Structure 1
Amino acid sequence: MHDTAPAGLTNYVAEFVATATPEDLPADVVALGKKSILDGIGLALSGSVAQSGDLVRRHLDELGLMPGAATVIGAGRKVAPRFAAFANGVGIHADDYDDTQLAVATDRVYGLLTHPTAPALPAALAIGEQVGASGKQVMLAYHLGVEVECKIAEAIAPRHYQTGFHATATCGTFAAASAAAWLLRLDAKTTARALSIAGSQSAGLRENFGTMTKPFHAGRASESGVAAAQFAAHGWTATDKILEAPRGFFQAAGGGYDENAIRGRLGASWTFANPGISIKPHPSGSLTHPGMTEMARLIREHGIKAGDVKHVRVGTNSNMPNALIHHHPHDELQAKFSMEFCMAILLLDGKAGLGEFTDATTQRDDVKAMIDKVDFVVDERAEKAGYHKMTTIIDITLNDGRVIHGEADFGKGSPANPMSYEEVADKFRDNAAHARLARSAADEVVSLVRDLEEQPSLERLMALVAKAG
């Protein structure tokens, strides 16, 4: 990559993308990325059997698409790359089980930056299939997408998230455009236009959290980024300063930005290395995970039974309730954004996986009764810890008068408490089984992704996950 950056910020980003080579990826970043790639493919599989997966397939049928070059995971069909990116992006984010970006600055809201893989990976897979890219090339394109997405999310003023934008949707569009642009071998000037076209498509509002429209955001971001790169390749014109201009993305969507958070920072160091990406052990909003990890620990260590519990107090910083908005959830999507449900289901069932996050579970009388015992409040100690952490303070009052206390800043799967490749592989196998993919196929996918840089193409990998059930 070039050591010097062009004057314009958009051009700096474009130059970084266009001039990247696989050799730019450090070995530790490659290893970390493989975990998220495997995780993403598994989530696309499990998402394909969600209700939203069926609706996406109906939508694709209505479009009357001819067979294309890119696989819709779990659907047994190939379509044009932009539509495969849409379907797989929706699938990865359908259960809110996908990886999350960590914040660097203390005023950036941890967990509310982006879900980096959901927009980036589908674009890399779709265009990678179309152009016959190798595993190493697809891996680089994916990393470029994640890097651009996360650094843009770090740079934009916190108002962007706090007033309602869903950064996976907005910043994710740039991720998909970057991944697609590199695989299409666009030069820096054309890549800048792709980013600019992507910027005009950036959209997504957090008011839709807890509905199918949240994963729709991720799918549409991936589709929009692919379309942006394709239009740029065709010669479509656009500004070369979409990020930094007074009427550009940073000002319009955030009211400002920190240039030092992005200029000179792309690939130095890579986001996967520092501050890292967190992989979810539970299919719920990432902000619930420190509390869930700590609650599970307290249950194990103290032998807590649901019938022993009189009251639970969960304290966090003031930004976390802004996302965890469903205090008495009525369906599985709302439950994913309910701290009360997440605490209750662990106390009652001792686990919180895809089998627990269902519409039927939210309607159980014992779940409703336990939710009534949980108070989710703002705690000044958590507030002072900073928004870049997810500090969660738990006090469980038992019927015998004892109070059991616990605190956690991060959950299992975070860089502070990471999942190994084998642990991610176990999660992948569970998600694949949820989609009724044969165990032998799942095991082969685990092996292929482990050695992704050695694969001459995506052909075998995508054939294995093309149809489940």
Structure 2
Amino acid sequence: MNQNAKVDVELTRYVADFIVNARADDLPSDVIEIGKKSILDGFGLAVSGSVAKSGELVRRHLSDLSLGEGPATVIGGGRRVAPRFAAFANGVGIHADDYDDTQLAVAKDRVYGLLTHPTAPALPAAFAVSEMTMASGRNFMFAYHLGVEVECKIAEAINPRHYQTGFHATATCGTYAAAAAASRLLGFDAGTTLRALSVAGSQSAGLRENFGTMTKPFHAGRASESGVAAAQFASYGWTATPKILEAPRGFFSAAGGGYDINAIHGKLGMPWTFSDPGVSIKPHPSGSLTHPGMTEMLRLIRENGIRAEDVKHVRVGTNSNMPNALIHHRPKDELQAKFSMEFCMAILLLEGRAGLAEFTDEVVARDDVKAMIEKVDFVVDDVAEAAGYHLMTTIIDIDLNDGRRVSGRADFGKGSPAFPMTYDEVAAKFRENVTFAGMSGDRAEEIIELVRSVDSLTSLDRLSELLMTVA
């Protein structure tokens, strides 16, 4: 069912009412604990993203704006600015290495893992506005959950055409996440929240053609900033339509050609997305569609003692939607490598791992990497296609020089709800990321423990202090 069925539902009003009326006490304990993993993961990625080239350019941009002092922390940037600009900087940082969490799909026509990266827009907005309003850890945490929930249900509802024809859902739907989180923290009533969502809708933008460049993380940062700005304008009394989602000229129609009302109406918090279908935390800093294949490749390498010099040819088969995102078959730099199934397979065969240190321009340019990439064919597989787009079915055949063929299949990668990371495993990823940026071990351990108990913190002041710099 979509908007063309003339269903008389005030959908944007429903979303606004949910943001205002949901209670932190109703958040299931398992959802709280799952959310802490994504919050910790997001903070760690903002730290590591601060030392990326894009982080340097973002700080240059903030300096050029002559912003002065503000209440919100630029993570790893050594300064505080107005909330919207901190949200921008931290959103770019979280998504800079394409290492952040990903939403799972429900319906079979949805592209698994490519609906949104929920934390990148939601967390920076919630953190920045919490700092401005001096919110407790509990209120910060709940605003973050509201943002993720709204973002994910909007992404699930819009027609798949939205993503397939080029929109980047993290950028488009993420704007609503930031507006939802900010609206809750600012104490808006339903009418003001509705206007914030509508202002956010007119700022919703981002195109997938920019995958493999700095503009992809720019999308996440701008979505977070736009949602915060939308809430600020709504607080001034700025006017906007009350039906930005469902109107014939609104978001769902203009950006997707329609939507499934049953995927969102009556579904917010019923169940919470973190509970079902869940959110995946990435084990590697590459596009999420590479992760089932990478998980399976590592298993095959370890269980069969495969060495790079043993490999004659590798065939990687997936459904036809996955090559639409993994578009760089002969990557030229680290950003393109993140969207190259061939590179991801090659680097695992050569190094047995694929972390931040492997996704660098220098590694991508290595002769042995280029030679191994030539041995990898990335194709559409009929079995993977039949499994449905809501899965990331990946089928691997490795032909060895001694005539053997080693094969495997995976529908999910490590870090997915089907194969989840524990909090301690996410903490290990956090340590690796912040160490990469130069943060000391003592500081990292304190952040890990603060996030573990974030819902009991009376203030975010210490967390802000620790995150402001890497050293």
TM-score range, shorter chain: over 0.9
Could you tell me how far 1:314 is from its partner in structure 2?
A: 0.1
Tell me the CA shift for residue 438 of structure 1. 1.1
Aligned-pair CA distance for 1:388: 0.2
Give me the whole-angstrom Cα distance separating, in 1, the residues matched to 2:109 and 2:397: 27
TM-score (structure 1 length as normaliser): 0.98
Amino acid in structure 2 at the alignment position of 1:346? L
Residue type at the aligned position of 1:30: I
**How far apart, CA to CA, are the structure 2 residues paired with 1:284 and 1:317?**
18
**RMSD value over aligned CA atoms?**
0.6
Query: C-alpha distance in 1, partners of 2:165/2:217?
Result: 19
Regions of 4+ moved over 3 Å: none
Cα distance in 1, alignment partners of residues 238 and 186 from structure 2: 15
Paired AA for residue 411 in structure 1: G
Q: CA deviation at 1:43?
A: 0.2
Q: 2:44 aligns with which of 42, 45, 56?
A: 42
In structure 2, what residue type is equivalent to 1:60? Answer: L
Shift, 1:22, TM fit: 1.1
What is residue 147 of structure 1 aligned with on the other side?
A: 149
Partner of 2:168: 166
Counterpart of 2:416 in structure 1 is 414
What's the counterpart of residue 3 of structure 2? none
Q: Report the Cα offset of residue 402 of structure 1.
A: 0.4
- Paired with 1:263 and 1:20, the residues of 2 have a C-alpha distance of 15
Residue 92 of structure 1 corresponds to which residue in structure 2? 94
Distance 1:243 1:210 in 2: 29
Distance 1:372 1:348 in 2: 13
Matched, 1:277 2:269: no
Name the structure 1 match of 2:5: none
Query: In 2, Cα distance between the equivalents of 1:227 and 1:7?
Result: 27
1:21 to 20, 23, 35: 23
Between the aligned partners of 1:436 and 1:22, the Cα distance in structure 2 is 36
CA–CA separation in structure 2 for the residues paired with 1:423 and 1:19? 34
Residue pairs, 1:128-277, within 5 angstroms: 128-277=130-279
SS of structure 2 residue aligned to 1:345: helix
In the alignment, which residue of structure 1 is the partner of 2:66?
Answer: 64
Letter in structure 1 aligned against 2:416: S
Structure 1 residue corresponding to 2:289, chosen from 284, 287, 293: 287
Aligned equivalents of 1:330, 1:360: Cα separation in 2? 10
Counterparts of residues 384-403 of structure 1 (less than 5 Å): 384-403=386-405
2:395 alignment partner AA: I
Q: CA deviation at 1:434?
A: 1.0
State the 1:111 CA deviation.
1.5
Structure 2, unpaired ranges of 5+: 1-7
Whole-Å separation in 2 of the counterparts to 1:142 and 1:234: 23
- How many angstroms does 1:91 deviate by? 0.1
Q: Aligned-pair distance for 1:21?
A: 1.9
List per-residue Cα deviations over 1:331-386 (Å, max 9, x = no partner): 00000000000000000011000000000111100000000000000000000000
Alignment partners' CA distance in 2, 1:207 and 1:387: 20
Give, as a single letter, the amino acid of the residue that structure 1 aligns with 2:38: S
Which amino acid in the other structure matches residue 409 of structure 2?
Answer: E
Aligned equivalent of 1:3: none
Structure 2 letter corresponding to 1:217: H
Query: What whole-Å deviation, never above 9, does each CA across 1:88-116 have from its counterpart, x for those lacking one?
Result: 00000000000000000000001110000
The SS at the match of 1:396 is strand
User: Counterpart of 1:179 in structure 2: which amino acid?
Assistant: A
1:8 aligns with 2:2: no
Q: Secondary structure at the match of 1:266?
A: coil
- Identity, % of aligned pairs? 75
Report the alpha carbon displacement of residue 461 of structure 1 after superposing the two structures with TM: 0.6
**Is 1:350 aligned to residue 352 of structure 2?**
yes
Query: Shift of residue 236 of structure 1?
Result: 0.3
Q: How far has the Cα of 1:66 moved from its partner?
A: 1.2
**2-side partners of 1:147 and 1:33: how far apart?**
11
Corresponding residue for residue 462 of structure 1:
464
The superposition leaves residues 1-47 of structure 1 with CA deviations (integer Å, 9 ceiling, x where unpaired) of: xxxxx940000000000112211211000000000000000000000
Q: Which residue of 2 aligns with 1:296?
A: 298
Amino acid aligned to 1:449: V
2-side partners of 1:243 and 1:452: how far apart?
A: 33
Quick one: distance in 2 between partners of 1:455 and 1:323? Answer: 40
Q: Give the aligned residue type for 1:53.
A: G
> Residues 142-183 of structure 1: CA distance to partner in whole angstroms, max 9, x if unpaired?
000000000000000000000000000000000000000000
Q: What is the one-letter code of the residue matched to 1:144?
A: L
Report the alpha carbon displacement of residue 221 of structure 1 after superposing the two structures with TM.
0.0
- TM-score when normalising by structure 2: 0.98
Residue-pair matches, total: 464
SS of the residue corresponding to residue 399 of structure 2 reads strand
Once residues 437 and 173 of structure 2 are traced to their aligned partners in structure 1, the CA distance between those partners, rounded to angstroms, is: 29
Secondary structure of the residue that 2:148 maps to in structure 1?
helix
Secondary structure at the aligned position of 1:393 is classed as strand
1:295 deviation in Å? 0.1
Secondary structure of the equivalent of 2:377? strand
